[in-house]
Amino acid sequence: MTTEFRGGVQVRNLTWTPFASSKPLLNNITFSINAGERVLLVGPSGSGKSTLLRAIAGVLQDTESGGMAGSIETGSSGLLLQDPNDSIVAPTLLREVAFGPENAGLPREAILNLVESTLASVQIDKPLQASSTDLSGGEMQRVALAGVVALRPNLLLLDEPTSMLDSSSALAVRQTVIATLKASQQTLIVAEHRFDGWVADLDRILVLDHDGQLAFDGMPSQILAEHRNELLDLGVWIPGEPATAAKPIKLAEGEFTCGSITVFTGNSGAGKTTELNRLIRADRNSETILTGVGFVPQQPELTILGNTVFESANFTARLAAQGLGIDAEESEQHTRRLLDLAGLSALESQNPYEISGGEQRRLALATALAHNPMSVYLDEPTVGQDRSAWASVVGLIVAAREAGMNVFIASHDQDLIALADRVIKIQPEIAMFRPPAVSKVSGLAILAAPIILLIGSMGIVSTKAGLASVVAIAAAWLILTMAGLKFKAPKLLIAPVVGVLSIGLSNWYLSRGLQLETGLTAALRVASFVFPGVFLATALRPYRLGDQLAQTLKLPARPVIAAMVAMERIGFFTGMWSQLQFIHNIRGVTAHRSPLARIRSAFWMTFTLLVQAIRSAGTTAVAMDARCFSKSTGRRTWAEQANWRQLDLLLITLSAVVAAVPFLVR
Amino acid sequence: MSNNVSNKIKVNWRGIDLVTAAILAVALGVAFWGFDTLVYPFLGLITAGFPPVGELVLGIWIIPAVAGALLVRRPGAAIYMELIAANVELLLGNTWGVTVLVSALLQAIGVEIIFLIFRYRRFTFGVAALGGMLSAILEICLYEWWSYVPDYTPLFKAIFLVCGVISGAFVAGGGAFWLIRGLGKTGALNAFAAGREASAK
């Protein structure tokens, strides 16, 4: 039987009801797909397209909570997700593409061959040690695709693979997918809202409706022609159908003539977002508490503040009303009207984190307009919206122009660009190839050395021993520098300096008899392991450390890998943290500069960051499990070997010598 | 969910347990690093006159350990999240360098011991607070007394300890308990028993 399903899919009476939901998201779905068929999956937002793909990939029950009924039979599959930022798991191209083969336990030579041939097949022509994230959006998605097809799955599942890309990057991804299919006879199921580019290469279309039922199944040309009106009612984007005219709405009374819409466009990764952020910073008048600026970032959830949809939308408007002496009730009514126009009035008292992604985007837009700003900045406001949601988003944008606002948008959406008064094309800066910093010393040595020094510090019981230790550290430093180990200055040197000083001071004046020597000795003792540790930490590379923990120390592979994948995201989350600070600044949260306002702001920033982290982790777990992370049978292999090198031995030996010094001169 | 009825301590981690715990620990590490500019200078001023009181913030650094145990409900989760959060501090630049890992391990072991006593089956505020308290006791009695404040008089060492334990109970235990419940209410943690209990209300 199994050979029959090589690439084929048989779904019978599949029903999935998410936890705490009263109605099924997938409702009694039955279909079968033959090996080699190419299928398009469409339906409105929230109709369960992603869920269906995850169910077929066999990762749904391991990553979400809910009740499943029915059956799915299929062969090996690969799943590509919408945002490569969630699916990329390794810092270099080599390790990214090797992730699946490593989990499958292939031998090292075979992995290297697979990685090279797969990268060539997705037209990525860069060194294997090049960064997997320092790429344009389209390149990143092709690298993610390489990671998915490296194991040569019989069935390829793509979940909105091009929705975040500009038209030329999207074309490159589509061409790569089609070329891969021609070479391998794989089966394809692709879910996409704007599927114009795909439709010519596909044999069949499946349409899900609002109730999670399979509404239509057949040849694309036939279904699109025969059920045109039903599909439009469902909010499906039909190729060649002009986008729905935005609903005519009015945000304010009176005649305004100075409003405008400016769209910044350009290839994915060309710097549209950077340009938008630069403009906001220039526009914002730091003197006024409530800036005349509204902002919707690419991740609209970052603008959430407060426990209900209404509270979040009204937050800045309330502050603005206070500042201008406007009646609070009047501003509340205005906010309610905006929520109504955004189609959110039924959700006013809901928890803003609980509503869907599309609803959060519309909430963020209503929020940005609620305090009647002079200008509004929108980063990709129409990404991933079905046709009906698109209409209400664009309706609000047009209404903002009519109300006299200047609207600045970063977007690659051609239908939105068509409405603009001005279009500015951003030219990409020439991307520089920056090799990821490969550390000369291993992570284990970096962690072990300061701990050896910590043991040595126990011997520092006099100032003399402390000074001897300082001399020994300086000598070791010199030797390491001559051996080729260069140290970078840590980012926050001030923190350890203050820490060591405060230890010295407090040990001095809280000691018996207030002896100066006591404080000095304490400071030297702590400094002897803190400063070397702080400098060494700058040479730490998480993924390399992971290789050593798993290969050299034989720690269990899965927890080590998950930890390293997470650690590689540090830059992503620090970026999100500064984005949150920026948004809170714009929204007036920290405007009063009072300690209370700051604590409140820190609280919401932390909470929002953690919610985003958990959601991103859920998607990453899907991407990893779809690449055999949890189902790896037998032993995992590693594409690169973790070695102890001479510099590691030197570092450890020197640390041991330095640690012995205070015991010898006490 | 019916599988909670089982008497056995769960030891098999799902992929999502590992990935969520690890990424949540990284995000907590980043947030703590973000506080450095908001909170730390302020606290430094307050506690400069009497440093043992500074130990009242110790609990902040124990939050990942308690949160890990409350979220994943399996042995090792506290150690896993605390070590990752400590590594993030290390990479972003912190006060104590690599030895922060020694602190992290001691703190997390304290939390693991308490949850083990309750066989990883009770996840109340009380258990979380006890976890935070034992964590602070291990950290201070086995590490900080010896390496940071060995020359304090016994009285000041005792005050130092009491401040740390109070912080362990309320900041670490209470903070993590509230945090997991708050995050659960958003529905983001529905793949976890802790999240389902919070979102079902």
Of A82-86, B14-18, B84-88, B117-121, which range is least confident?
A82-86
- pLDDT at A278 > cutoff 70: yes
For A322-335, b/e burial (b = at least 16 CB within 10 A) is eeeeeeeeebbebb
> In whole angstroms, what is the distance from residue B28 CA to residue B84 CA?
10
Closest listed residue to residue A624, CA positions, set B77, B22, B89, B83: B22
Whether residue A542 lies within 8 A of chain B, CB to CB, comes out as: yes
Residue A144, CA atoms < 13 Å, CB-side half-sphere:
29
Give the pairing of strands A375-379 and A214-218: unpaired
Of A77-86, A268-277, A292-301, which range is least confident?
A268-277
Please spell the DSSP secondary structure of B72-100, one letter per residue: H-STTHHHHHHHHHHHHHHHH--SSGGGH
Whether residue B94 lies within 8 A of chain A, CB to CB, comes out as: yes
Taken in order A312, A314, A318, A320, the sign of the CA dihedral is positive
pLDDT of residue A432: 44
Instruction: Decide if A2-234 and A260-430 have a common fold.
Output: yes
Whether residue B118 lies within 8 A of chain A, CB to CB, comes out as: no
Overall residue count recorded for chain B in this entry:
201
Nearest CA in chain B to A65: B191
pLDDT tens digit sequence for A512-537: 667 788 888 888 988 898 888 888 88
Q: Which of B95, B152, B189 is nearest residue A496 as measured by Cβ atoms?
A: B95
**Chain A residues near residue B16 by CB distance under 8 angstroms:** 62-63, 617-618, 621, 625
Q: Provide the percentage of residues in chain A whose pLDDT is more than 70.
A: 91
Q: How confident is the model at residue A255 (pLDDT cuts 50, 70, 90)?
A: low
pLDDT of residue A289: 43
A206: left (phi over 0), alpha (psi -120 to 50) or beta: beta
- pLDDT at B45 > cutoff 80: no
Of A568-572, B76-80, B188-192, which range is least confident?
A568-572
Taken in order A405, A406, A412, A416, the sign of the CA dihedral is positive
Q: How confident is the model at residue A287 (pLDDT cuts 50, 70, 90)?
A: very low
**What is the mean pLDDT of the segment spanning B5-26?**
88
Q: What backbone torsions phi and psi does residue B120 show, to the nearest 5 degrees?
A: 50, 40
CB A208 within 8 A of CB A49: yes
- Chosen for mutation from A16, A65, A460 (greatest number of chain B CBs closer than 10 Å) is A65
- The domain limits of chain A are 2-234, 260-430, 443-544+647-665
Overall residue count recorded for chain A in this entry:
666
- pLDDT at A302 > cutoff 80: yes
Q: Give the Cα-Cα-Cα angle B108, A621, A58 (nearest 5 degrees).
A: 135
pLDDT of residue A492: 66
**Chain A residues near residue B57 by CB distance under 8 angstroms:** none
Nearest CA in chain B to A579: B34
pLDDT of residue A435: 42
Q: Provide the percentage of residues in chain A whose pLDDT is more than 90.
A: 36
pLDDT of residue A491: 65
Is the ipTM higher than 0.90? The answer is: yes
pLDDT tens digit sequence for A419-451: 888 888 877 654 444 444 556 788 888 888 988
Chain A, window 574-593: residues with a beta carbon less than 8 angstroms from a chain B beta carbon: 574, 577, 581
- pLDDT at A3 > cutoff 50: no
- The domain limits of chain B are 13-200
Average pLDDT, chain A: 85
**Chain B residues near residue A503 by CB distance under 8 angstroms:** 148-149
Helix orientation angle between B125-139 and B58-72, rounded to the nearest 10 degrees: 130
Of A100-114, A153-167, A263-277, A554-568, which range is least confident?
A263-277
> In whole angstroms, what is the distance from residue B101 CA to residue A43 CA?
49
Please state which CATH class domain A2-234 belongs to.
alpha beta
Q: B20 or A598: which carries more pLDDT confidence?
A: B20
Q: Which of A63, A510, A605 is nearest residue B153 as measured by Cβ atoms?
A: A510
**Chain A residues near residue B90 by CB distance under 8 angstroms:** 537, 540
**What is the mean pLDDT of the segment spanning A329-350?**
87
CB contact under 8 A, B182 and A607: yes
Closest listed residue to residue A360, CA positions, set A343, A376, A372: A343
Q: Specify the CATH number of the domain A260-430.
A: 3.40.50.300
> In whole angstroms, what is the distance from residue A398 CA to residue A412 CA?
17
pLDDT of residue A549: 92
- pLDDT at B145 > cutoff 60: yes
Token code pair at residue B96: 């104590």
> In whole angstroms, what is the distance from residue A534 CA to residue A496 CA?
8
Nearest CA in chain B to A444: B98
- pLDDT at A284 > cutoff 70: no
Q: B132 or B10: which carries more pLDDT confidence?
A: B132
> In whole angstroms, what is the distance from residue A517 CA to residue A464 CA?
10
Q: B78 or B150: which carries more pLDDT confidence?
A: B78
Burial of A238: CB neighbours in 10 Å, binned 0-12, 13-18, 19+: middle
> In whole angstroms, what is the distance from residue B160 CA to residue B154 CA?
10
DSSP classification of residue B169:
I
A426: left (phi over 0), alpha (psi -120 to 50) or beta: beta
Q: A189 or A87: which carries more pLDDT confidence?
A: A189
> In whole angstroms, what is the distance from residue A387 CA to residue A246 CA?
11
**Chain B residues near residue A523 by CB distance under 8 angstroms:** none
Q: How confident is the model at residue A78 (pLDDT cuts 50, 70, 90)?
A: very high
Q: A323 or A265: which carries more pLDDT confidence?
A: A265
CA dist list (Å): B138 to A326, B102, B110, B187: 56, 11, 6, 35
Highest mean pLDDT out of A402-411, B28-37, B111-120:
B111-120
**Chain B residues near residue A625 by CB distance under 8 angstroms:** 15-16
Token code pair at residue A586: 């714009």
Nearest CA in chain A to B179: A607
Highest mean pLDDT out of A164-173, A255-264, A510-519:
A164-173
Distance from CA of B8 to the nearest CA of A (A): 20
**Chain A residues near residue B201 by CB distance under 8 angstroms:** none
CB contact under 8 A, A63 and B16: yes
pLDDT of residue A586: 82
Token code pair at residue A455: 């043991």
- pLDDT at A111 > cutoff 90: yes
- pLDDT at B64 > cutoff 60: yes
Q: How confident is the model at residue A59 (pLDDT cuts 50, 70, 90)?
A: very high
pLDDT of residue A429: 55
Q: Which of B23, B97, B151 is nearest residue A616 as measured by Cβ atoms?
A: B23
Give the pairing of strands A66-74 and A38-42: unpaired
Task: Write the secondary structure of B133-159 as one string of H (helix), E (strand) and C (coil).
Answer: HHHHHHHHHHHHHHHCCCCCCHHHHHH
**What is the mean pLDDT of the segment spanning A213-228?**
93
Whether residue B24 lies within 8 A of chain A, CB to CB, comes out as: yes
Q: A71 or A259: which carries more pLDDT confidence?
A: A71
- pLDDT at A243 > cutoff 60: yes
Whether residue A19 lies within 8 A of chain B, CB to CB, comes out as: yes
- pLDDT at B105 > cutoff 80: yes
**What is the mean pLDDT of the segment spanning B29-47?**
72
**Chain B residues near residue A473 by CB distance under 8 angstroms:** none
Nearest CA in chain A to B20: A617
What 3-state class would DSSP assign to A644? coil
CB contact under 8 A, A63 and B98: no
> In whole angstroms, what is the distance from residue A90 CA to residue A133 CA?
9
**What is the mean pLDDT of the segment spanning A252-256?**
57
- pLDDT at A118 > cutoff 70: yes
Whether residue B151 lies within 8 A of chain A, CB to CB, comes out as: yes
Chain A, window 597-656: residues with a beta carbon less than 8 angstroms from a chain B beta carbon: 598, 602, 605-607, 609-618, 620-621, 624-625, 629-630
**Chain A residues near residue B94 by CB distance under 8 angstroms:** 492, 495-496, 534
Distance from CA of A612 to the nearest CA of B (A): 9
pLDDT of residue A617: 95
